[in-house]
Amino acid sequence: MSISNVVASYNELSKLDLRVLRVIEVLHRNYEYVPVRRIVKYMNLSEEVINKSISKMNKLKLLVRRGPDNVRLTFPAYDILSIHTMVKRGVIDAIAPTPLGVGKESDVYAAESSSGDKYALKFHRIGRVSFRNTRKYRVWIGERRHITWLYEAKISAHMEYMALTEAYRAKVPVPKPRAITRHLVAMEYINGIELFKIRLSNPESVLEQIISAIEDLLRINIIHGDLNEYNILVNPSSEKITIIDWPQWMYANVKGSKTILMRDLNIILRYFKSNYGLNISIDAVMGRLAPLIPSSELPPEKVYSRLIKRITSLVS
């Protein structure tokens, strides 16, 4: 469903409908498909009133039924709950109908607040690719086997927001994080073009910016984990960079992180060699980074145990 259709559906909902969606979201903690009787009991309203609201939202494709008496949220319903929260907070007032980007795991739209501030809204959508393939890159999920797509998208969004917050505080060139709710991250709108789409006038300077950003990230024990020419924006006039797309970040002292760091570097160095003839060896860059790379690597479960508890307490 396009964001225009999501917004149109949102405008058709009453306060009661929104409350029903929120109650179903809460009850998803215990049910994949929520029994209607539980919604009735929770809201202390008649079954007739609840069923009328559910039928309406089923037609709008905000709910999926299993039999006549069990329902679950869809991603458009989750979008609506997230948009509603951002509107109430005063973060957004309008959303552009055309996406800034559509990927395997997210959709990004431009939005404005009532005061005219411009933001990028990133909706995390983990379920577009196979559960197995996304989970192998998400060591922070741990051994949870029964996570719904909505819940995993929610965790992914909170993890990205956390990385953006830490990186922004460290003055790494990333979009300024503005707000988060559920699977939706609002961040600063960046006037930039993906690295692969622009012909640089000073590629040496841009490459140095990227390596300096990697250094600054290592100082706060972070590796991007998916650094490439698609996740780096370049301002067309100043050629200043901004690094985006952070769901696959990891701590630099986690087992296997050095391999991921070298993969990121290899991708970037190959790009600048093939497109600009810059022949910089990865050994030279790794030598520069060596003092910042943790000398020992810890098991993921040891490093992430506290973080997982923190995140799940935020998103439960």
Which residues are tagged catalytic?
A: 226
Residue 62: HSE in the Cβ half-sphere, 13 Å Cα cutoff: 27
Residue 147: HSE in the Cβ half-sphere, 13 Å Cα cutoff: 24
Q: HSE of 23 in the Cβ direction (CA atoms, 13 Å)? A: 22
Cα–Cα distance for residue pair 173/227, rounded to 1 Å:
13
Tell me the two tokens of residue 53. Answer: 């609201």
SS3 12: helix
Asked if residue 124 lies in contact with residue 106, where contact means CB atoms within 8 angstroms, the answer is yes
Strands 184-188 and 222-223: unpaired
Among candidates 273, 269, 295, which has minimal Cα distance to 282? 269
**Measured between alpha carbons, how far is 153 from 74 in angstroms, rounded to an integer?**
12
What DSSP element (H or E) covers 22? helix 15-27
* Residue 224, helix vs strand vs coil: coil
Let me know: does 178 contact 164? Beta carbons within 8 Å.
Answer: no
Nearest alpha carbon to residue 195 among 245, 150, 138: 245
Nearest residue to 181 via CA among 280, 81, 71: 81
